[in-house]
Amino acid sequence: MRCFHASPPTAEQERGSAVVEFVFLGLVLLVPVIYFVLTIGRLQAGSFAVVGAADQAAKIYVTEESLPEATSQAHQAAILVLNDFGFDASEAEIEVNCNGECLTPGSGVTVGVRLGINLPFMPPGHSVDDSVVVVDSSATQLVERFR
């Protein structure tokens, strides 16, 4: 009976494809992580955008003297904030509600902003409801008693 002695592998026998494995695993693991970070960043930017847009629009609305001017300026403020964050403001929904008579001293004005956010590298939806994620925010300001 012959006895085989296992000898340690030589350098020639140890040649492998570590570079290929490293690149393959790097792509398989790294690409989803990068996409996840981009997606979370886009959602966070959308959240900040709607909060800022609602807040600034409500503040502008209560400082104006007439309803048409207040509505126009509030929409402009919300659009400006959304554009500053890199979102298409034409896809946002901006709504102004007043409890009681608008612009009377002591009344409250609530501005709501809804924005649809699409995933990075995906085609955009045609409306807010076609988007993957919808973020919204509202802000309320009181009209000052002494103007």
Asked whether residue 147 is domain-assigned, the answer is: no
pLDDT category, 146, cuts 50, 70, 90?
Answer: confident
Asked whether residue 95 is domain-assigned, the answer is: yes
Asked whether residue 2 is domain-assigned, the answer is: no
Asked if residue 36 lies in contact with residue 88, where contact means CB atoms within 8 angstroms, the answer is no
If phi over 0 gives left and psi between -120 and 50 gives alpha, with beta otherwise, what is residue 42?
alpha
Number of compact structural domains in the chain: 1
53 vs 119 pLDDT, higher one? 53
Owning domain of residue 26: 20-142
Long-range contacts of 20-23 (CB under 8 A, 24+ apart): none
Alpha carbon 62 to its chain centroid, in Å, reads 27
28 vs 50 pLDDT, higher one? 50
127-131 mean pLDDT: 65
Helices (H), 1-147: 18-63, 67-84
Show Cβ contacts of residue 93 under 8 Å, excluding neighbours closer than 6 positions.
112, 113, 114, 115, 128
Angle at 128 between CA 122 and CA 130, to 5 degrees: 50
19 vs 15 pLDDT, higher one? 19
pLDDT category, 25, cuts 50, 70, 90?
Answer: confident
C-beta neighbour count of 117 within 10 angstroms: 24
